[in-house]
């Protein structure tokens, strides 16, 4: 069993408020001890003096397959995103494009200190696309929850003739992964309610539950404002569903999610840009829920959690301050605090994935998903207190050390075990391919028409 002693760091465990200097002993894939000046024989010593040490971030919603079209959505609304990506670019993806996009996306996450990603993978255009996604998950070395998406990308020559064919392919993938060792797991990403029949939604959920797989779904945007209520009426809500966005989900529906044991992920940057509304952090907190964060789409912006923490924190502060300001007063205090924001990105994410017993905080017996932030940059001169420094001062490039399940995947600021030059060449080729119109762009079909109708009926031209 490999033993490593992470020595001399300033540790923020997120298991309490006991921040301070400590060593961490890792044996195999787990934390064996945390304490001051641990005396350990026969262990590799990793010197983390001058570093902030904390649990790896947990990203509860990302579409890694969109890494290959990085930045294209920079000025898009949700309507434009659906039209150009889900009814455009998605048709051009080959299995090789899926593999390199997901792999590079997962490595970007690792590089910035994200050690767990919930990958909402709705680019399964064929069995080969599914296999490419699974291979990328295995190659990356990050803890991945790969949610198999049943979304029907409209293709001229579809590999799946019917929804039932997609379910059969998901059965194949679940069988292939069943019982395999490793840190990657399978889940199910539900199709938006307006694109499938209630019977097909039930089939997706029943497939997941038959295999004990977690479920996630886009919920509560204006295109599907009552999705939670629909699941509730059908008796399909449960603790295994992670609901994403929920900006237009009613308070009654949020109570249904809470009482069913489900969780909610907010993706601040996407929601603010694309016309979904303000993140609902305060509404969740008032109901006693634990909001989690997701990065969502790198077809729009960067894949680090520091940005999402800051956006979530400062937007929520602004929303809470606004009623006081409108009354002509100045807020005497502000909330939430920086430790709350760090919880959104760590332990709350672990809770949302129902894995808080394994990840999200540093404690003896938990998985050794640990990151360390170097504090020798000008942004730490002089150093702030640990949690304010992590949330408000740290840049992604400051992440110097990353460990996942006891394996060191980044050391001295460099990712290990990957040929980044080769990956750069591969993803540049993918980018060029995806930017080139193809015969698929002329494909139509019921999916395009259904989504266009669902989105188009609520779109308002601001110029009008």
234-284 pLDDT per residue, tens: 999 999 999 999 999 999 999 999 999 999 999 999 999 998 999 999 999
CATH number reported for the structural domain that contains residue 133 in this entry: 3.20.20.140
Nearest Cα neighbor of 154 from 71, 88, 61 is 88
Handedness of CA 311, 271, 360, 4 (dihedral sign): negative
Task: Examine the domain organization and report whether 249 and 336 are in the same domain.
Answer: yes
Summarised one tens digit per residue, pLDDT across range 42-96 is 999 999 999 999 999 999 999 999 999 999 999 998 888 888 888 889 999 999 9
Task: Examine the domain organization and report whether 188 and 336 are in the same domain.
Answer: yes
Q: What pLDDT score does 457 carry?
A: 58
Phi, psi angle pair for 124, to nearest 5°: -85, 80
Task: Examine the domain organization and report whether 61 and 44 are in the same domain.
Answer: no
Final residue in a domain of this structure, among 324, 352, 380: 352
How many residues in total does the chain contain?
A: 464
Nearest Cα neighbor of 357 from 368, 366, 348 is 366
State the total domains in the chain: 2
CB atoms within 10 A of CB 318: 12
pLDDT exceeds cutoff 50 at 463: no
Task: Examine the domain organization and report whether 313 and 243 are in the same domain.
Answer: yes
Q: Is residue 435 included in any domain, yes or no? A: no
Task: Examine the domain organization and report whether 307 and 201 are in the same domain.
Answer: yes
The answer, as to whether pTM is greater than 0.85, is: yes
Task: Examine the domain organization and report whether 70 and 120 are in the same domain.
Answer: yes
Q: Which alpha helices (DSSP H) does 95-222 contain, by range?
A: 95-111, 127-140, 163-177, 198-210
Q: What pLDDT score does 341 carry?
A: 98
The parent domain of residue 225 ranges over 57-352
> Which uninterrupted H or E stretch holds 422?
helix 420-434
Final residue in a domain of this structure, among 373, 397, 415: 415
Nearest Cα neighbor of 300 from 142, 78, 129, 96 is 78
Summarised one tens digit per residue, pLDDT across range 218-244 is 999 866 778 999 999 999 999 999 999
Task: Examine the domain organization and report whether 261 and 403 are in the same domain.
Answer: no
């Amino acid at each position: 069993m490999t033993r490593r002693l992470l020595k001399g760091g300033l540790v923020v465990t997120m298991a309490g408020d006991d921040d301070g200097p400590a060593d961490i002993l890792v044996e195999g894939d787990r934390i064996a001890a945390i304490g001051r000046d641990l005396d350990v024989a026969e262990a590799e010593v990793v010197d983390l003096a001058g570093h902030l040490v904390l649990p790896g971030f947990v990203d509860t919603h990302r579409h890694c397959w969109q890494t290959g079209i990085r930045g294209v959505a920079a000025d898009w609304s949700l309507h434009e995103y659906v039209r150009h990506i889900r009814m455009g670019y998605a048709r051009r993806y080959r299995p090789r494009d899926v593999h390199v996009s997901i792999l590079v996306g997962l490595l970007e996450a690792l590089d910035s200190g994200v050690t767990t990603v919930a990958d909402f993978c709705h680019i399964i255009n064929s069995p080969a696309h599914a296999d490419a996604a699974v291979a990328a998950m295995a190659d990356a070395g990050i803890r991945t929850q790969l949610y198999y998406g049943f979304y029907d990308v409209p293709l001229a020559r579809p590999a799946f003739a019917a929804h039932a064919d997609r379910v059969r392919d998901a059965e194949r993938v679940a069988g292939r992964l069943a019982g395999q060792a490793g840190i990657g797991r399978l889940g199910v990403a539900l199709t938006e309610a307006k694109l499938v029949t209630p019977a097909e939604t039930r089939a997706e959920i029943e497939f997941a539950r038959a295999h004990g797989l977690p479920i996630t779904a886009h919920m509560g945007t204006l295109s599907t404002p009552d999705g939670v209520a629909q699941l509730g009426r059908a008796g399909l809500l449960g603790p295994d569903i992670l609901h994403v966005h929920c900006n237009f989900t009613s308070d009654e529906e949020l109570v249904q999610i809470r009482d069913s044991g489900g969780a909610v992920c907010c993706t601040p940057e996407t929601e603010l840009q694309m016309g979904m509304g303000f993140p609902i952090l305060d509404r969740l907190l008032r109901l006693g829920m634990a909001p989690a964060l997701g990065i969502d789409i790198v077809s729009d912006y960067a894949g680090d959690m520091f940005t999402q923490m800051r956006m979530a924190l400062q937007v929520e502060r602004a929303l809470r301050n606004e009623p006081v300001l409108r009354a002509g007063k100045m807020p005497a205090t502000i909330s939430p605090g920086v430790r709350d924001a760090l919880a959104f990105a760590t332990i709350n994410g672990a809770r949302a994935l129902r894995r808080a017993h394994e990840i999200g905080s540093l404690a003896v017996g938990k998985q050794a998903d640990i990151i360390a932030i170097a504090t020798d940059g000008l942004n730490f001169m002089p150093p702030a207190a640990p949690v304010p420094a992590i949330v408000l001062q740290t840049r992604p490039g400051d992440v110097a050390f990353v460990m996942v399940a006891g394996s060191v995947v980044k050391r001295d600021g460099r990712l290990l075990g990957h040929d980044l030059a080769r990956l750069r060449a591969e993803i540049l080729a993918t980018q060029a391919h995806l930017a080139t119109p193809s015969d698929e762009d002329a494909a139509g079909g019921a999916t395009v028409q259904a989504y266009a109708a669902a989105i188009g009926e609520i779109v308002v031209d601001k110029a009008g």
